[in-house]
Amino acid sequence: GCVLDGKVYPFGHISRTDDCFRCTCTQSQISCCSLFHTPVGYDKEKCKIVFNKRSCNYDVVEKNDPSKECFVHSRV
C-alpha cells in the first residue's frame, strides 16, 4: 500500500483520507487532490472560516456568533 501522513492505505482508489483528500495509490506513487474548496468571496471583517472535517469543507461563520453562517460569493 501507500503511506500518507503516517497511515497506510491499500493500492487503488482512496475515496477519502482522514484529511479530506481523494487519492490513487499505485506501487510507484500516490497522487491526491482535495475534496474541499477554500472560500475567497466573503466578508472577512465579519466572518471567519472553520474547517469541518466531517463534511470535508470550510464553514464560513460570523466571528461574533459562530452559529450563524455567512454568505460566500466564491470558492477556489
Residue ranges of the domains in the chain?
Answer: 2-34, 39-75
**What are the pLDDT digits (tens) for 10-53?**
999 999 998 899 999 999 999 999 999 999 999 999 999 999 99
Asked if 26 contacts 11 with a C-beta cutoff of 8 angstroms, the reply is yes
Asked whether the whole model's pTM tops 0.75, one would answer no
Q: Which residues have C-beta within 8 Å of that of residue 44, sequence separation ≥ 6?
A: none
Fold type of domain 39-75: N-terminal domain of TfIIb (2.20.25)
Residue-level pLDDT at 5: 86
Q: Which residue has the cell 501522513?
A: 5
